[in-house]
Amino acid sequence: MKERFMVQPVEPSPRAATKPGLEEMRGRIEEKRMRMRMRRVVGGIGDLVAALGLFGEGFLRMEQMKMDVSREMEKMRMEME
Give, for all 81 residues of the chain, the pLDDT tens digit: 455 555 556 565 665 555 667 788 888 888 888 887 777 767 778 788 888 989 999 999 999 999 999 999 999 999 998
| pTM strictly above 0.85 | no
Following CA atoms 42, 47, 48, 52 in sequence, which dihedral angle do they give, to the nearest 10 degrees?
140
70: amino acid identity, one letter:
S
Among the listed residues 41, 37, 40, 34, the one whose alpha carbon sits nearest the alpha carbon of residue 26: 34
Name the domain count of the chain. 1
The answer to the question of residue 52 being in a domain is: yes
Phi and psi at 11, nearest 5°, equal -75, 130
The answer to the question of residue 2 being in a domain is: no
Among the listed residues 35, 41, 39, the one whose alpha carbon sits nearest the alpha carbon of residue 7: 35
The answer to the question of residue 45 being in a domain is: yes
**Could you list the residue range(s) of the whole structural domain that residue 61 is in?**
16-80
The answer to the question of residue 41 being in a domain is: yes
The answer to the question of residue 3 being in a domain is: no
Phi and psi at 77, nearest 5°, equal -65, -40
The answer to the question of residue 40 being in a domain is: yes
The answer to the question of residue 57 being in a domain is: yes
The answer to the question of residue 4 being in a domain is: no
